Amino acid sequence: MVLEVRSSISIIYCFLDIYPFLFQKLGFNFVISNQATMICIDNSEWMRNGDYSPTRFQAQADAVNLICGAKTQSNPENTVGVLTMAGKGVRVLVTPTSDLGKILACMHGLEIGGEMNLAAGIQVAQLALKHRQNKKQQQRIIVFAGGPVKYDKKVLEMIGKKLKKNSVALDVVNFGEEDEEKTEKLEALVAAVNNNDSSHIVHVPAGSNALSDVLLSTPIFTGDGEGGSGFAAAAAAAAAGGVSGFDFGVDPNLDPELALALRVSMEEERARQEAAAKKAADDSSKQDKEGESTSQDATMSENAATSASESENKKDDLMDDENALLQQALAMSMDDPAATVTTRDTDMSEAAADDQDLALALQLSVQEGAKDQSGETDMGKLLSDQSFMSSVLASLPGVDPNDPSVKDLLASMQNQPEVSPKKDEDKPKEEDK
């Protein structure tokens, strides 16, 4: 039991060392954003219609459940709240909370009736977000607009400006009633709120596709483009690597802390890489200037261009190798740790040939892992004890301890304890003889 835990911990450390590097080189961009979201549901009479299966209201409820799940999964600190816009009046069902169960529970037993009050709904949502517990969260409102909109375009634009001023983002799902005026008004509203592409509007026409399916591919789910597209790409890569489509080969449900730790280390590594890259760019630009001080501007720019393309080619090669490495690393995390030692050794040599930095990081992680492994077995401990080794070697027939090659071997053994597991298998065989 203890051995398994230790080996899994060593794998984790290797993960944390390798992963940030590989992800950065592969160009993923993750930003964990802390958001407070209010979802405005339309429960007006127009939601009884069956043009979205089974009813508009049910399709809407499914979509809401999906959004809540996605938000809480992408960041456990995200909070989501729900309010209804029709019925007897705007009513807040649940204030922003990270408790998914509470949100899903409040969706039961909702009554359909009345007319949707868009302006009041948005204003109440804004108020609910204003009183969120964590003031550092970004504010977002998601509106499901099914029924017709009775407000003027001007009024909606004023509301939009007010949201923009208080840096609240707005996503609108335009479904249900299809009305040119309604579309125009909602587009104007989102345009007024939109600040740097943080607000979106999605039109979902009636049809065989479920509302939730259509929404999955929209920016409402994929976030502001950065975090979302990164996740989608990561899921695809992980799936290709033969692991269930989780971001880091670790199920966030089974081990949320590990998933979070991996993401945080990835972010830190990314920031560090950016700083290093910036510094390298500054240094290389300085070197360019020194080298070409006497030549023309044209040749200087040429050199810069060729060096840029060179580094790009190198980057492509790196990316191919690292794709393979990435698959290996993902597979490793699933497999028995003992079996991975040999695979890791071969991977190391391939990668080391290409990139000095990568080799250093990998070697560090391997040494850490190897140290743990050798500590596990008594045999390992004995083998690392040099005096014992030399005495054993002396007792072997045909081995002269003073032989220079044996001495070299002993010296190298001190430096590379990972050779010891292989020695494990060799030693017992020889002693059995």
Q: How far is the CB of 194 from another protein (least distance, A)?
A: 12
Between 33 and 209, name the residue whose CB sits nearer to another protein.
Answer: 33
Paired tokens of 93:
């069902």
Please state at what angle helix 256-291 crosses helix 297-334, rounded to 10 degrees. Answer: 160
* Order of strands across the sheet that contains 79-84: 91-97, 79-84, 35-41, 138-145, 168-174, 200-203
Does the CA dihedral 163-165-169-174 come out positive or negative? positive
Q: How far is the CB of 293 from another protein (least distance, A)?
A: 25
Between 167 and 287, name the residue whose CB sits nearer to another protein.
Answer: 167
CB 173 within 8 A of CB 141: no
Between 157 and 354, name the residue whose CB sits nearer to another protein.
Answer: 157
Paired tokens of 44:
């007006």
Q: How far is the CB of 161 from another protein (least distance, A)?
A: 7
Rounded Cα distance between 156 and 164, Å, is: 12
The H or E element spanning position 134 is none
- Single-letter residue type at 246: F
φ, ψ at 251 (rounded to 5°) = -75, 115
Q: Of 121, 147, 134, 173, whose CA–CA distance to 43 is shortest?
A: 147
Q: How far is the CB of 202 from another protein (least distance, A)?
A: 23
Between 88 and 135, name the residue whose CB sits nearer to another protein.
Answer: 135
Between 161 and 279, name the residue whose CB sits nearer to another protein.
Answer: 161
Q: How far is the CB of 110 from another protein (least distance, A)?
A: 29
Between 95 and 212, name the residue whose CB sits nearer to another protein.
Answer: 95
Q: How far is the CB of 33 from another protein (least distance, A)?
A: 13
Q: How far is the CB of 137 from another protein (least distance, A)?
A: 10
Residue numbers at the binding site for another protein (CB under 8 A): 130, 135-136, 161, 164-167, 195-196
Between 127 and 396, name the residue whose CB sits nearer to another protein.
Answer: 127
Please state at what angle helix 297-334 crosses helix 337-354, rounded to 10 degrees. Answer: 170
Q: How many angstroms separate the Cα of 1 from the Cα of each of 5, 7, 376? A: 6, 10, 11
Does the CA dihedral 395-399-404-405 come out positive or negative? negative
